């Protein structure tokens, strides 16, 4: 599996949500485990996404997982 992430906007009170999968962690049923970060600031979101991309993560739409 590859390292992937996706960004969603305006979910509940959260402004931006980044879900990411490191290519290794799985749930008990074998499906990929996605960690999340919640941001209310666009600058912090951009910084986090840039860091993920430096680590080799590829952006994918959430329905593509």
pLDDT for 61: 78
The pTM assigned to this predicted structure is: 0.83
For strand 4-11 and strand 58-59, is the pairing parallel, antiparallel, or unpaired? parallel
How far CA 13 is from CA of 17, 45, 59, in Å, comes to 11, 16, 23
The domain segmentation of the chain, as residue ranges, is 4-56
Q: Residues 24-35: what's their mean pLDDT?
A: 93
When pLDDT is averaged across residues 12-29 and rounded to a whole number, the result is 93
Those residues with Cβ within 8 angstroms of residue 57's Cβ, 6 or more apart along the chain or in another chain: 3, 4, 5, 20
Residue 65 in this model has a pLDDT that exceeds 80: no
pLDDT for residue 62: 64
Percent of the chain with pLDDT over 90: 78
């Amino acid at each position: 599996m590859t390292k992937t992430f996706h960004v969603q906007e305006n979910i509940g009170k959260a402004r931006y949500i980044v879900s990411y999968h490191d290519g290794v962690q799985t749930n008990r049923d074998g499906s990929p485990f996605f960690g999340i970060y919640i941001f209310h600031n666009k600058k912090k979101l951009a910084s986090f996404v840039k860091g993920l991309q430096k680590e080799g993560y590829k952006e994918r739409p959430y329905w593509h997982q």
